[in-house]
Amino acid sequence: MKKKILLIGGAGYLGRVISKEFIKKNYFVRVLDNCVYQGMKNKFDLNNINFEFFYGDKSSPKTLKKVLDKIDVVVILSGLVGDPITKKYPGLSKKTNIDKTLKCINLINKFKIKKLIFISTCSNYGVTKKQVPVSENNVLNPISLYSKAKVKIEKFLINNKNKFNFSFTILRFSTAFGYSPRMRFDLTVNQFVKDIYLNRKIELYDADTWRPYCHVKDFANAIDKVIQANEKLTKNNIFNVGRNENNFSKLAIIKLIIKKMKKGNYEIVKNSKDRRNYIVNFSKIKKILKFTPQLSISYGINEILSEFRKKNIDKSKIFQFGNYKVKKNII
C-alpha cells in the first residue's frame, strides 16, 4: 500500500526536490506550507495525482486536522531556515522555529501518526576542535539563533519521548547544495557557482572554516531510508546526514569550483563573519541505515550551470533566489 507522507514546509528549497523524488519513489506526498519568503507564490503544484498542496499554518489545529488525515509519516522541514535570516528577524524566528514548531508537534501527538522525522542541522555542533570529526554523541554547541532553535526542538523530542504516541527520528543535515525549482543562492556552493558564472569577484570570508556538504536529492534518499528502515533502527534516534569525504573548508570549495569551471576570482577577507567551524562524522548513518550520499559537488556545479544555460534561472531576479526577506503579512 502506498505510504502517505506529509512534508511540513515542503514548498521551499529542500521540499520541492524531496516532493518530486518521493513521487518517483511511489509515495503519496502532501505539502503544508505558509510560503513565508518574498518571491514565493502561495501555491505549489506538481500536476500529479499523488501530490497535494495546502497553504496554511503548521500550528493551526484546524489546518493540521485536515492535512494529517490518513498520513503515515510527517516530515518537519519548516521554519526560517539559515543563520542570516534568523538574525534579521529574531522575534519571528523564535515564533516560527520554536513556538509554532512545539505547538505543531503537540498537535500531531493527538492524531494517529506512526512516525515523525524532524529535520535538524549539523550547525548544532557550532565550533569543534580542529580536524576532529564530531559524531551524534558529541556535546552540541549552537552559536546561531537557527541552530539554537533546532537544539531546543531536539531536546523537547528526546525529553518527552515516552509521552508521544509516535516514534521520531532526528536528521542533522549537512549544508545543502544543488538545483531546486525554489532555488537558493545564499548557500555556499550555490552562491560561489552563481558568482563565478556571472563573472563576479568573490569576497571569501572565513576561508579556513569547515563544513560538510550534501546534495538536495541525497537528503530525499536519506529520509526515504528512514521511512523504509526497520523501526528498531530509527526509533527515537539521531543521524548526521552526509558523507565523510564531503567535509571541506570554504577555501577548498572555491578552489574546486574554479577548477571545475575553469575561471573565477576571489579575495580572502580577514575579518571573520561566522565562527562556525566543524567537521562531521557520518559513520552511524552509513553503518545502521546503509546510506551514503551519491552526488558530488562536481555534479552540483554542472547541474546549476545547466539550469543557467537552459534559462531556468532568471538572472534579472537573482536577488530573489534565497532566504533573504519574509513577506510583510508574515511579520
pLDDT tens column, 259-279: 999 999 999 998 776 778 999
Q: How far apart are CA 200 and CA 194, in angstroms?
A: 9
Q: How far apart are CA 278 and CA 92, in angstroms?
A: 27
Q: How far apart are CA 220 and CA 22, in angstroms?
A: 7
Q: How far apart are CA 24 and CA 132, in angstroms?
A: 38
Return the pLDDT at 43: 85
Of 203, 193, 160, residue with least CA distance to 152: 160
Return the pLDDT at 331: 67
Q: What's the grid cell of residue 174?
A: 549537512
- Single pTM value for the model: 0.96
Is 45 exposed, middle or buried, given 0-12, 13-18 or 19+ CB atoms closer than 10 A?
A: exposed
**Phi and psi torsions of 132, nearest 5°:** -110, 105
Q: Which domains does the chain have, with CATH numbers?
A: 4-182+213-246+276-295 (3.40.50.720)
Return the pLDDT at 168: 98
Is 26 exposed, middle or buried, given 0-12, 13-18 or 19+ CB atoms closer than 10 A?
A: exposed
Of 207, 282, 274, residue with least CA distance to 242: 282
In the chain, which stretches have pLDDT less than 50? none
Stated as kind and residue range, the H or E segment containing 286 is: helix 283-288
Task: Annotate 218-247 with DSSP letters as a single string.
Answer: HHHHHHHHHHHS-HHHHTTEEEEES-GGGE
Q: Alpha-carbon dihedral of residues 307, 311, 313, 316, nearest 10 degrees?
A: 150
Return the pLDDT at 314: 82
Return the pLDDT at 41: 83
CA distances from 117 to 11, 132, 158, 197 (A): 17, 28, 13, 36
Q: What's the grid cell of residue 16?
A: 520541492
